[in-house]
């Protein structure tokens, strides 16, 4: 399975933003006491990134499973994308609503929930439009 170049770039950029936000941007915004909008954005970025990376990883895993399991080989890629997006949404949203605490110490914030939903929807739309693999 050959993953499309844009997927690799999206994954790398999202991960780099996550690291930059955690170690540089967030501490800088807190230290400089910037307006609330900046604080909302830097505190919600991890949720956006979690949704993006989760959807990409699950899509890759499910496509690998489809390739390895003979029973799933006729499953359309769009179906795989939908299943991956739904599983990612179930995990991310249930974590935000505190149904579980698998991602660590989580505090409910409607902005975090919104960022998660935006990440899920955007990633799902991009994957459906441009695909995930090259054959």
135 has a pLDDT exceeding 90: no
Q: Per-domain residue ranges for the chain?
A: 2-134
pLDDT band at 108 (very low <50, low <70, confident <90, very high): confident
> Quick one: pLDDT at residue 115?
97
Backbone angles phi, psi at 3, to 5 degrees: -80, 140
> Quick one: pLDDT at residue 103?
62
Distance CA 46, CA 36 (A): 17
pLDDT tens digits, residue range 39-82?
Answer: 999 999 999 999 999 999 999 999 999 888 877 778 899 999 99
> Quick one: pLDDT at residue 70?
74
> Quick one: pLDDT at residue 52?
98
pTM: 0.91
Taking the mean position of all CA atoms in its chain, how far away is CA 92?
8
User: Smallest Cα–Cα separation from 52: which of 94, 2, 9?
Assistant: 9
> Quick one: pLDDT at residue 104?
65
> Quick one: pLDDT at residue 122?
98
1 has a pLDDT exceeding 90: no
């Amino acid at each position: 399975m050959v993953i499309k170049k844009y997927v690799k770039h999206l994954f790398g950029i999202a991960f780099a933003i996550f690291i930059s936000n955690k170690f540089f941007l967030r501490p800088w915004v807190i230290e400089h006491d910037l307006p609330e909008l900046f604080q909302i954005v830097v505190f919600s970025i991890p949720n956006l990134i979690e949704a993006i990376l989760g959807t990409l990883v699950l899509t890759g895993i499910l496509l690998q499973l489809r390739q390895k399991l003979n029973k799933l080989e006729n499953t359309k890629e769009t179906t795989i994308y939908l299943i991956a997006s739904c599983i990612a949404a179930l995990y991310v949203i249930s974590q935000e609503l505190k149904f579980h605490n698998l991602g660590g110490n989580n505090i409910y914030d409607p902005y975090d929930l919104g960022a998660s939903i935006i990440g899920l929807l955007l990633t799902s739309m991009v994957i459906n439009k441009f695909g995930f693999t090259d054959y």
